[in-house]
């Protein structure tokens, strides 16, 4: 189950398995007992995917466990990526737990713009339909620090997932997104056209309002 650049002893494998189970269940008492004896394990990769206990607990939506663990970590540990290039913050953004991501950002504000699996945490939250998370991350993300490719990918995702109010705020700030193309050579017009064809009555007020504003910006 576990891999490393060195050969793990049976004792280490068992210890890391116990850490994984503790993080997955949110059992801080069990994890704390291990960390007291083996403090270096706090930032260790404990799964074959390269997840640390922080990755596991964040994905499993265990806020208390994450808080206790992070308070014992250094700032570089928070940005540790798994083998897919995902930080624990990126995975947390997919849970919809705003309290959890707020806590992580208090420790390191740059986590919001570290991409995972070729997208921003904000885009991941939008793809998974977490409105409160999308609104929160939109507010705190330093948009001027993003690449053009990030903005257009985010913009089209917001359209595809019906977050028209947030998409409107983004295009009003960056009108050039009206004609920009993403990595698949798709524009916002393509995405809107597809949405409109799927809803022939076009009765969604948010959608109609966005369409009108979008055409004015083109």
Domain edge (last residue) among 114, 144, 174: 144
Q: What is the reported pLDDT for 2?
A: 45
CB 79 within 8 A of CB 87: yes
Residue 42 has pLDDT above 50, yes or no: yes
Domain tally, the chain: 2
Residues 126, 174 within the same domain = no
Specify whether 121 is located in the same domain as 51.
Answer: yes
156 with 134, same domain: the answer is no
Q: Would the pLDDT of 198 be above 90?
A: no
Residue 130: strand, helix, or coil: coil
**The pLDDT of residue 1:** 46
Please identify, among 125, 144, 163, the residue that sits at the C-terminal boundary of a domain: 144
The pLDDT score that the predictor gives to residue 93 is 97
Q: How sure is the predictor about 56, in pLDDT bands with cuts at 50, 70 and 90?
A: very high
Residues 53, 152 within the same domain: no
Cα diameter, the chain = 65
Residue after which a domain boundary falls, among 144, 172, 199: 144
Are 158 and 214 members of one domain?
yes
Residue with more model confidence, 181 or 104: 104
pLDDT of res. 197: 56
Distance CA 144, CA 148 (A): 9
Alpha-carbon torsion, ordered 194, 200, 202, 207, to 10 deg: -10
Q: Does 139 lie in the same domain as 87?
A: yes
pLDDT in tens, 112-121: 999 998 899 9
Q: Give the model's confidence band at 4: pLDDT under 50 very low, under 70 low, under 90 confident, else very high.
A: very low
User: What pTM was estimated for this model as a whole?
Assistant: 0.87
Quick check: 26 and 60 in contact, CB under 8 A? yes
Give 189's pLDDT tier (boundaries 50, 70, 90).
confident
In terms of Cα–Cα distance, which of 36, 28, 84, 35 is closest to 60? 28
What pLDDT score does 22 carry? 98
pLDDT digits (tens, 9 = 90+) for 129-175: 999 999 999 999 999 999 999 999 999 999 989 999 999 999 999 98
Mean of per-residue pLDDT scores for the chain: 88
User: On the CB side of 15, how many CA atoms lie within 13 Å of its CA?
Assistant: 18
Q: Give the CATH number, domain containing residue 19.
A: 1.25.40.20
117 and 184 part of one domain: no
């Amino acid at each position: 189950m576990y891999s490393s650049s060195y050969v793990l002893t049976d004792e280490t494998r068992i210890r890391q398995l116990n850490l994984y189970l503790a993080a997955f269940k949110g059992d801080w008492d069990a994890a704390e007992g291990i960390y007291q004896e083996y403090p270096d394990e706090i930032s260790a990769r404990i799964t074959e995917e390269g997840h640390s206990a922080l990755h596991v607990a964040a994905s499993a939506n265990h806020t208390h466990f994450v808080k206790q663990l992070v308070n014992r970590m250094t700032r570089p540990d928070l940005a540790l990526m798994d083998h897919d290039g995902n930080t624990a913050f990126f995975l947390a953004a997919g849970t919809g737990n705003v309290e959890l991501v707020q806590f992580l950002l208090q420790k390191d504000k740059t986590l919001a713009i570290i991409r995972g699996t070729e997208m921003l945490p904000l885009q991941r939250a939008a793809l998974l339909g977490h409105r409160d998370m999308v609104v929160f991350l939109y507010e705190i993300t330093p948009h001027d620090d993003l690449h053009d490719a990030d903005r257009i990918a985010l913009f089209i995702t917001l359209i595809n997932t019906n977050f028209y109010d947030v998409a409107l705020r983004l295009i009003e700030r960056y009108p050039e997104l009206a004609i920009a193309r993403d990595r698949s050579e798709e524009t916002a017009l393509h995405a809107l056209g597809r949405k409109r064809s799927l809803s022939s009555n076009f009765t969604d007020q948010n959608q109609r309002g966005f369409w009108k504003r979008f055409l004015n910006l083109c």
